[in-house]
Structures are given as C-alpha cells and as structure tokens.
C-alpha cells in the first residue's frame, strides 16, 4: 500500500463499501479537494490541523478529532508538524442510527477513544466484515455517537478574492498589534466603507468579527505550541487584559481559555 499515489488512495477508500479503510501516516498526504462515499474520522497527534470546507477553515487542535460525513467536499492541511495522522473511513449502511454521522464536527478525544485510535496504528488498508478485527472498528464507530460532546466552533473564513487576500495576510502577520478598520483601510488605500463592504460581501462577516476569530485561532495555536501563560497569550494576540481575552474566547467557543487548555493537555 505504501506505493499508492494520492489518486489511488482516494479510489481505494471507496473500493469496498462495507469495509473500514485505515490510513495512518507520519507526514501529511496532501489530498486535493475531494469527497468519498464513506464517513471519515481523522485524529492528528501533535501539531495543528485545518479542515477546509468551501471557503472556511476549521481548526483541529490537539486532543480533538474531526468527523467528516460522506459526500462532503474537503481537504486537510497540517499547519505544524505532527507525529502521526490517523484517518479511518467507515461504511455508511448504519449512519441513520444517529444524526452525528450526517454532520461535520470537531470534538475532544476522551481517554477511551484516544486509546482506541492509538491501537488502530497496527492496521493498514481495508478491514472487511469477515475479519475478526472488524468488530473493534464497529465499536469505535459506535463510540463516536454515544460519546459526542460539544462541537468546537473555531473557524476562520478563507477566500481567493484578490483584493481581500493581501489584507488577510497583513492581519495574520500583525494580529498582535492594535488594528482597526481605519488603520487597515488606510494601509491598503481603501475607504473604511469599501473595506467593510469587502469583508461583508466576501466573508459574510465584519472586519471586527474576522479579527476576533483570527486572534482566537492564533491563541489556540499558542496554547498548543508554546508554554506561554494565558496572560502572555492574551497580550500576544492583541488583548490588553486577560479578562478581555477570556470573554472573547468564551464568545467564540463557549468555554473559558483555562477550560480549553485543560482539554488539550
């Protein structure tokens, strides 16, 4: 299986509708935008991953997994190096047993699911119904729907708009600085009204909403990749106080930064 091309992997995933297809890798395989007839769970050990769906990037932090329902166009990008990328593609004949399987979501990995995902590292390729290991994967899939907790809504819109892309790159680089609609519009020779309309028409959100979400994504990355305190992370993402940072983080995720930090450590 190691010699398969990316396109051959995509064909293999759906080759046997009732099988479970296991794909574990040490480095990111850059699949293009694609979909498959099976549901997919992906767990990234270490690093930070992003699931791109249409013009939205969903962040997948450490100790979280993403469920991708069948038929959803997507691609995965690992922003920081990961020790392993574990993906399992499941049959769909029992998907109507729970609404969980029909919607995309990012969820924390509990201890049992974590151990089961690690245990799957010994397998590669198709696990067929007649295999004695098939029941293990059936149990794993069933566990997803019964252990489902709150979906993590840390998202960041993306765009191919030529006028807005350089603005977003600038915000990404200088997110820790004092940024306002006025200063950024002046930087790019635009009126505040033009830039505001560009954000609304292209990303369906305001300049301020986008900046808040960008800073939350950066905060999560700092929690995962550094040993900075929450106060240091607050200042590193443009907030003058820990309370302002905590309140914004709660607005975006429905949990306090300290609570989230507990789920990923």
Cα(56)–Cα(40) distance, integer angstroms = 18
Task: State residue 210 phi and psi, 5-degree precision.
Answer: -65, -45
> Do the Cβ atoms of 56 and 155 come closer than 8 Å?
yes
- 243 pLDDT exceeds 60? yes
Length reported for the chain: 265
Half-sphere exposure of 199 (CA within 13 A, CB side): 20
Cα(17)–Cα(129) distance, integer angstroms = 11
Helix (H, G, I), strand (E, B) or coil at 157: strand
Cα(2)–Cα(97) distance, integer angstroms = 34
Tens of pLDDT, residue by residue over 1-25, are 456 787 888 899 999 999 999 998 7
**Which residue, chain included where needed, has tokens 């297809």?**
21
Which pTM does this prediction carry? 0.75
Residue 212 pLDDT level (bands cut at 50, 70, 90) = very high
The alpha carbon dihedral of 256, 260, 263, 265 has a sign of negative
Least confident range from 89-93, 184-188, 248-252: namely 248-252
Tokens of 74: 């997507």
Tokens of 143: 């566990």
Tens of pLDDT, residue by residue over 95-140, are 999 999 999 988 888 889 989 999 999 999 999 999 999 999 999 9
Question: Which residue segments constitute the domains of the chain, with CATH numbers given?
Answer: 6-146 (2.60.120.280), 160-264 (1.10.10.60)
């Amino acid at each position: 299986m190691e010699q398969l091309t990316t396109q051959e992997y995509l064909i293999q995933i759906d080759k046997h509708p009732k099988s479970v297809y296991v794909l574990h890798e040490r480095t990111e395989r850059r699949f293009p935008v694609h979909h498959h007839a099976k549901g997919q769970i992906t767990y990234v050990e270490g690093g930070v991953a992003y699931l791109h769906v249409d013009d939205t990037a969903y962040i997948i932090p450490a100790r979280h997994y993403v469920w991708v329902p069948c038929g959803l166009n997507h691609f995965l990008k690992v922003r920081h190096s990961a020790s392993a990328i574990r993906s399992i593609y499941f049959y769909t004949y029992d998907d109507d047993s729970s609404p969980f399987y029909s919607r995309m979501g990012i969820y924390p990995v509990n201890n049992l699911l974590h151990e089961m995902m690690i245990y799957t590292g010994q397998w590669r390729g198709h696990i067929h119904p007649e295999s004695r290991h098939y029941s293990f994967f059936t149990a794993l899939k069933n566990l997803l729907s019964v252990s489902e907790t709150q979906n993590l809504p840390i998202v960041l819109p993306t765009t191919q708009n030529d006028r807005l892309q350089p603005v977003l790159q600038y915000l990404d680089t200088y997110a820790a600085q004092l940024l306002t609609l006025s200063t950024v519009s002046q930087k790019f020779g635009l009126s505040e009204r033009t830039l505001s309309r560009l954000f609304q028409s292209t990303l369906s959100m305001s300049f301020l909403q986008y900046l808040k979400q960008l800073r939350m994504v950066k905060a999560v990355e700092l929690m995962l990749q550094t040993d900075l305190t929450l106060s240091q992370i607050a200042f590193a993402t443009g907030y003058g106080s820990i309370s302002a940072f905590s309140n914004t983080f709660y607005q975006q995720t429905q949990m306090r930064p300290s609570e989230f930090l507990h789920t990923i450590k």
